[in-house]
Amino acid sequence: MNRPSKTPLTAAVVTSLLCAGLLAAPAAAQPPTEPPTPAAGSWTVQAPPVSGVERLSAEVALDENGAPTLSVSAGDRVVLPPSPIGIVTDGADLSTGLRLIDRAERSVTESYTMTTGKNTQRHAVMREATLSFAGAGDAELDLVVRVAPDGVAYRYELPDRDGTTVVTGETSSWQLPNDAPAWLLPYTSWYEEPRAQTTAGAAATGSYGHPALFDVGGMYVLLTESGLSSAYPGAYLDTTAGTGRYAIGLVEEQVVADGELDTPWRTAIVGDLATVTESTLVDDLAPPSQVEDTSWIRPGRVAWSWLPEHSSPRDFERQKDYVDYAAAHGWPYTLVDEGWSDAWVPELVRYARAKGVEILLWYRWTDVDTQEEMDAEFSRIAVWGVKGVKLDFMNTGAPTHGESAARHAWYEQVLRETAEHRLLVNFHGSTIPKGLQRTWPHLMSYEAVRGAEYYSFAGDPRVTPSYNTMLPFTRNVAGSMDYTPMTFGQTSRSSSDGHELGLSVAFETGLLHLAEMPEVLATRPEAERYLDQVPTVWDETSLVSGAPGDHAVIARRAGERWFVGGIVGGAGREVEVPLDFTGGGRWLVETVTDDGSGGLVRTATTLTARQTLTVPVVENGGFAAVLCRATDGRTTCDEPVHTVPASTLVIEPGEAVVRPGDSVTVSATFTLDEGDPVRRVTMTPVPPAGWVADGDPQRRPRLAAGEPLTGTWTFTAAEDTASGFVDLPVVVEFDQNPATTRRRVHVEQAVRALVPPPAPSGVVPVSDLAFIAETNGWGPVERDASNGEADGGDGAPLTIGGTQYASGLGVHAVSGITIYLGGACDRFTAQVGVDDEVGDQGTVTFNVSGDGDDLAGTDVITGSAGATAMDVDVSGVELLTLEVGDGGDGINFDHADWADATLGCT
């Protein structure tokens, strides 16, 4: 539908603007056959006044050719001189030949609550002007300008003329003085290049990513974007050396949208360094929250194993070590990264939740890039009890660009679906924050930074302490940043332990992934003690001091305590920390610093808000401090670390075979092993989809340690229940102590039930049978094809030693496939080996087991060997399992084939 034209300026309005000097006299009327002559003029929008802050203003002007520009001033000083703006569509060039046809102005005042970020309670006050222009052929353009005390933003609104809007580019730009110091990173769609200092004019010709920081004579300018919608692609900054002009470039040549189109906000955060660092303008400009109930959204610290030991996410027992550590230290989460198996994740979730720890899971974004995949996968893991997902590699995926409109549509879609399933989200290999954390408050963090993981990539020398000091003033201004600090055991880093500990406060993120092994953290008790206290939700943030590339000292308040993180790049020094950010009073200050010999030491002192804390910092060092009100007898700011008491839930039977329509009786006994009594205890059966459970839940208002709670239920499978393994859970939940924790503890155990398919008969290719269970090291198991790559159906014909096989299974180590035989088969045969698609690379082992007992296996087989024959007696076997190991040297190139895999059955 076409939008009605804007109401033209009335004679009274024109006279008023002329008298005010805001509009030049109109040109004489033109013949109807010629377009109206553009009228030069300028229009100013001022920020609401704030005491002690230079008032910002934006001026939009049209030159004699009707070409618009925008400039930004602070008081009487021009910070950003006039820069061309405008947009071009397939039907009109709306960057020239414009004339003003209407103007509207209003105040925008919003109060909202965040779950993450620099402060949870936000209050935004902005002045907004909408300037409506007409161009050649009466093409319309609304330019919306907002000016806040901490910055200026503008966007274009295009009406729907013919059902489709096609943008072919913007002329939007920012003009900087050539000599303005600049902190820039070369543009990539994953924003992981190192940031470096240069000047606006000396920067090499090319493209640079948002956010970009400039120092204009002591007034800082941070350029970025906000309010990006699924209708528009991402943008970068294009510059030509020596010009100081940074033009908006789009990652797609055309933007096609149905109906009206609103572009993202082109945003300049402007002020002193504290104003820029503390700004929430990116969130203030974004659409409001789409999630009404946020009670389930809980940021927190995360134990994470991948960085210090890349193979650990494949190891169930090792993941339990990280869960145990998180539980002992009161950390709410453990992230299981690439390599986890659905064969054991449900058990790990149950193990963790009984200890008060929730599990987060890693996904490659292509695993959930369709609506069907999202529905299936998020439903599945929500049933397991998983609390969040880390989605990775959105920067890849040709033919679309990692910041294309289609990719941004996926960001919104996946956030909508995860909100439905109450799953927290962490984006990796991603774009930068552009306000979505306000719109979708379960979005905890983004990567979009060259973070600590690069220490493990052959010791990347470009992640330096000096580089780290740039991030609070650049990348982290835009939104939460998943840098993953605490890499104490990474020998390639040049930062001190105090620097690493300071990052826990200097950097903000909703999920603080602590990237170290439990055994290494245990050797640094002062770091452990501090990390057990540091929050990830903040009521207030204040820049204490800093200079990009040199040092940063950030103070953040949570409740009545202040936490301070200081980091330094370069020479050691004494860092002064004025305590006026506390607002007044006497404070107990506990500071953890490097002891000068590779360790950490804690000191305590009492100071007033008018005094200054002096901290000695070693080369490339840092510190972390916590402040609390000084009262008589108070010796520490530490608060109790809340852990969950040990408990036991026994469920019988442990395993069962249940055919469709049949039932199994399940009994459970719960005992609190230690600690104070717990309250509001419930024991409940949780039947999976397609099952019913008969029997009432068991409840106790209070349960003391050693006192049993028991229950019995009958689970019945539907007549059309699908074959395979299914868990039949019984769940106990209780309040540990309402005075110390608001969360309920979840303890769960399950009967492992098998719904068997019909037993096979005759001579059967294994690839024709349903799998009861399967795991695979890379991508899915392929039937009658090699493993190929990560996607299903991407394998080639099974080929070993030059011989091609028509049937079989293509897998990747480490792999396991379970098939139901029901005792009906007596022989399994196959030709096994490394598929020719990896050449002479790869080393694997093959093993056949029946009902848990090993029946046959091979030595290590290499890619240069041919096929090995296997002929195995499987008489009486109910469940046959085919396993492939990695040969002891990792899983690279371990593409393995079970070629001509056949069962002989009666």
- DSSP, res 851: T
Tell me how crowded residue 136 is: count the other CB atoms within 10 A of its CB. 16
Q: Using alpha carbons only, give the angle 515, 516, 521 rounded to the nearest 5 degrees.
A: 135
pLDDT tens per residue across span 77-136: 999 999 999 999 988 999 999 999 999 999 999 999 999 999 999 999 999 999 999 998
Instruction: Provide the CA 635 distance to its chain's centre, in angstroms.
Output: 38
Cα–Cα distance, 378 to 370 (Å, whole number) = 12
- Tokens coding 636: 């520490």
**Identity (one letter) of the amino acid at 172?**
S
DSSP string over 251-274: SSS-EEEES-EEPPEEEEEEESHH
Spatial CA neighbour of 902 closest among 874, 865, 861:
874
Query: In 3-state terms, the chain is what percent helix, strand and coil (to 5)?
Result: 15, 40, 45
Cα–Cα distance, 234 to 478 (Å, whole number) = 15
- DSSP, res 59: E
Q: Where in 405-449 does DSSP place strands (E)? A: 424-427, 443-446
782 annotated active-site: no
DSSP string over 643-711: -PPPEEEEEE-SEEE--TT-EEEEEEEEEE-SSS-EEEEEEEE-PPTTEEEES--EEEEEE-TT--EEE
pLDDT tens per residue across span 161-191: 667 889 999 999 999 999 999 999 999 999 9
Buried b (16+ CB within 10 A) or exposed e, 422-439: bbbbbbbbbbbbbbbbbb
Cα–Cα distance, 429 to 391 (Å, whole number) = 8
pLDDT of residue 165: 85
718, 723, 725, 731: CA torsion to nearest 10: -20
Cβ atoms of residues 728 and 666 within 8 Å: yes
Helix crossing, 371-384 with 405-420: angle to 10°?
Answer: 30
Cβ atoms of residues 301 and 254 within 8 Å: no
Choose, from 192, 225, 337, 392, the residue flagged as catalytic. 392
Cα–Cα distance, 617 to 498 (Å, whole number) = 8
Distances (CA, A) of 685 to 184, 693, 730, 731: 56, 7, 4, 6
Q: How far apart are the first and last CA of the chain?
A: 69
For the chain, residues with pLDDT lower than 70 are 1-39, 161-162, 397-398, 738-742
Strand pairing report for 424-427 and 388-392: parallel
Distances (CA, A) of 632 to 583, 589, 636, 792: 20, 14, 11, 67
In sequence order, which ranges of 428-586 are alpha helices (DSSP H)?
A: 436-439, 465-470, 475-478, 497-506, 518-521, 525-531
Choose, from 170, 215, 453, 837, the residue flagged as catalytic. 453
- DSSP, res 461: T
Strand pairing report for 895-905 and 825-834: antiparallel
pLDDT of residue 797: 97
* Complete domains list, the chain, with CATH: 11-28+35-111+126-276 (2.70.98.10), 647-755 (2.60.40.10), 762-905 (2.60.120.1060)
Cα–Cα distance, 712 to 665 (Å, whole number) = 7
- Tokens coding 838: 């990896």
Cα–Cα distance, 640 to 655 (Å, whole number) = 40
Cβ atoms of residues 384 and 407 within 8 Å: no
Instruction: Provide the CA 214 distance to its chain's centre, in angstroms.
Output: 27
Cβ atoms of residues 816 and 848 within 8 Å: no
Residues 6+ apart with CB under 8 A from 191: 185, 209, 430, 431, 432, 447, 448, 449, 475
What count of residues does the chain have?
906
Spatial CA neighbour of 394 closest among 415, 411, 419, 412:
411
- Tokens coding 309: 């030991």
Cα–Cα distance, 273 to 438 (Å, whole number) = 24
Instruction: Name the one residue in this structure whose structure tokens are 């401090």.
Output: 625
pLDDT of residue 28: 38
Cα–Cα distance, 812 to 781 (Å, whole number) = 8
Cα–Cα distance, 156 to 263 (Å, whole number) = 5
**Identity (one letter) of the amino acid at 165?**
T
Cβ atoms of residues 282 and 267 within 8 Å: yes
- DSSP, res 23: B
pLDDT of residue 25: 37
Cα–Cα distance, 687 to 751 (Å, whole number) = 11
Q: Using alpha carbons only, give the angle 228, 188, 71 rounded to the nearest 5 degrees.
A: 55
Cα–Cα distance, 228 to 422 (Å, whole number) = 23
162 annotated active-site: no
- Tokens coding 403: 């910041």
